[in-house]
Chains A and B, each alone.
Chain A
Amino acid sequence: MIRFDSVNKYFGNFHVLKNINLEINKGEVVVVIGPSGSGKSTLLRCINRLETITDGELTVNDLKVNDKKTDINQLRRNIGMVFQHFHLYPHKTVLENITTAPIKVLKQSKEEAEKVARSYLEKVGIPEKANSYPAQLSGGQQQRVAIARGLAMKPEIILFDEPTSALDPEMIGEVLDVMKALAKEGMTMVVVTHEMGFAREVADRIIFMDQGQILEQGKPADFYANPKEERARLFLSRILNH
């Protein structure tokens, strides 16, 4: 479904992604971990072309992401994205946040879009916040709205860019619960996170990145019990033993 073929990316002289080869299948939940600056977020952001790749080939559903002929808006409506800092629209209510894209992009009627939005708000557990503004919600609630906003486009893939890193510890659980439910429904998910519990529980595959390379990948059980790479072992020991 998502395929990286010898992908390289530079920021100026800085080689952020080095020869990435990766295939992610439909329904798979892939968790990307690694130290900061390792290129995890960049990898994720290339998938919906928030970043452009320098060379190699990246395809989503057999469409070349960086081909000029590819209708990027068409591609993006099929890929939801959830950000570390939520990026809800502060001037719009929760309901408007969720319905903007379905109305503008999918040309849904306002009534239809609102009905869909309310059902997703139900799903993420905050139906009563439909008419609130983002600033009136807690971080955890805002992130759940952001997930509902992504779901309302009925995408086949959702990308999560450190969705819990900006949250107070007590709110992380409520967001992870929503993500776990999604994973179990068979959504294709690529998640950049430091939540090892989540990774262990729902990931089909763990990808460990360092310095722009994929150093190791495998099933969570194998990876956590017995990481092959020295760098991965060091990383795990640092984040697990505290």
Chain B
Amino acid sequence: MDIAGALSFDHLKFLAAGFKVTLYIAFISIILSFIIGVVFGTLRYAKIPFLSKVVAVIVETIRNLPLLLIIFFTYFALPEVGLKLSPSTAAIAALTVFESAMLAEIVRSGLNSIDKGQKEAARSSGLTYIQTLWTVVMPQALRRMVPPIVSQFISLLKDTSLCVVIALPEFMHNAQIIYAQNINYIFPIFAVVVFMYFIVNYCLSLIARRLENRQA
């Protein structure tokens, strides 16, 4: 094991650059998939004729495919139909598509978990369906959804490492390049990788727990 060699300044700088890419890709994908997930989940919950069915088919299809396949697809298959994406755009697109479908299901089940009496009380006071959803059902559902949504975000952050297959220069990718040079680097580099993923994801868990406690 060569700790000093593995953790040289250049290597750490290279790892940091990879970590920055991981965080950047995860952050953008989280924002986009949250928005799309809420919209799709709500559309499915609302049982709008035709539209809700279409959304259901899309969500179910994506949810039942491996993320790796979607990543391959966006990077290797889309160019065949004339859509050539850079590794980072392809990564964001693939993660957003996949995580949106997962979040849509969380949102739908969160909305479904709200007692139907809440909706009846709001509707019988003259509120429209949209007003009821927006001021009565959604705020309550979102609070309940915090834990599963955050664990989905944690999954997303970890899943960015799958983008190593399209040579996205993210954390795992850069770590691999370093330890591939010298077998004695493997353990120290893995230790750093483990530590960094753990720290970020654990912080997310803590934030979730705080949000949960605040509303309880």
> Which B residues between 143 and 177 are near A, CB-CB below 8 angstroms?
143
> A104 at interface (Cβ–Cβ under 8 A)?
yes
Say yes or no: B126 contacts A76, CB within 8 Å: yes
Chain B contacts for A50, CB-based, 8 A: 120, 123-124
Chain A contacts for B127, CB-based, 8 A: 73, 100-101, 104-105
Say yes or no: A48 contacts B124, CB within 8 Å: yes
A74 to B127, CA, bound (A): 9
> A79 at interface (Cβ–Cβ under 8 A)?
yes
Contact of B125 among A85, A90, A91, A150 (CB under 8 A): A150
Chain A contacts for B125, CB-based, 8 A: 76-77, 80-81, 100-101, 105, 149-150, 153
Interface size on B, residues (CB 8 A): 18
Contact of A83 among B120, B135, B136, B140 (CB under 8 A): B120
Say yes or no: B140 contacts A90, CB within 8 Å: yes
Say yes or no: B117 contacts A83, CB within 8 Å: yes
> B121 at interface (Cβ–Cβ under 8 A)?
yes
Chain B contacts for A233, CB-based, 8 A: none
A121 to B87, CA, bound (A): 61
- A165-203 toward B: CB 8 Å interface, digit per residue (1/0)? 000000000000000000000000000000000000000
Say yes or no: A89 contacts B126, CB within 8 Å: no
Say yes or no: A100 contacts B135, CB within 8 Å: yes
Chain A contacts for B131, CB-based, 8 A: 104-105
Say yes or no: A89 contacts B124, CB within 8 Å: no
- B116-143 toward A: CB 8 Å interface, digit per residue (1/0)? 0110111111111001000110011001
> B80 at interface (Cβ–Cβ under 8 A)?
no
- B179-205 toward A: CB 8 Å interface, digit per residue (1/0)? 000000000000000000000000000
A87 to B131, CA, bound (A): 17
Interface size on A, residues (CB 8 A): 24
Q: Is the interface of B mostly helix, strand, loop or mixed?
A: helix
Say yes or no: B123 contacts A89, CB within 8 Å: no
A111 to B169, CA, bound (A): 56
Nearest chain B CB to A51's CB is how many angstroms away? 10
Say yes or no: A105 contacts B126, CB within 8 Å: yes
> B10 at interface (Cβ–Cβ under 8 A)?
no
A147 to B120, CA, bound (A): 15
> Which A residues between 138 and 154 are near B, CB-CB below 8 angstroms?
146, 149-150, 153
> Which A residues between 73 and 131 are near B, CB-CB below 8 angstroms?
73-74, 76-77, 79-81, 83, 85, 87-91, 100-101, 104-105
A87 to B140, CA, bound (A): 13
A83 to B140, CA, bound (A): 19
Nearest chain B CB to A113's CB is how many angstroms away? 13
Among B123, B124, B127, B128, the one with the most A-chain Cβ atoms within 10 Å of its Cβ is B124
Chain A contacts for B136, CB-based, 8 A: 89, 100
Say yes or no: A87 contacts B126, CB within 8 Å: no
Say yes or no: B117 contacts A153, CB within 8 Å: no
A153 to B124, CA, bound (A): 11
Say yes or no: A89 contacts B117, CB within 8 Å: no
A90 to B136, CA, bound (A): 9
Chain B contacts for A74, CB-based, 8 A: 126
- Tell me the nearest residue of chain B to A103, going by C-beta: B135
A179 to B122, CA, bound (A): 21
25 contacts between A and B (CB under 8 A): A48-B124, A50-B123, A50-B124, A73-B126, A73-B127, A74-B126, A76-B125, A77-B126, A83-B120, A83-B121, A85-B117, A87-B117, A87-B121, A89-B121, A89-B140, A100-B122, A100-B125, A100-B127, A100-B136, A101-B126, A104-B127, A104-B135, A105-B125, A105-B126, A105-B131
- Nearest 4 CB-CB pairs, A to B? A77-B126, A87-B121, A101-B125, A87-B117
Give me 13 other A-B pairs in contact (C-beta within 8 A), A81-B124, A87-B117 excluded: A74-B126, A79-B124, A80-B124, A83-B121, A87-B115, A89-B118, A89-B121, A100-B125, A101-B126, A104-B127, A104-B131, A104-B135, A146-B121
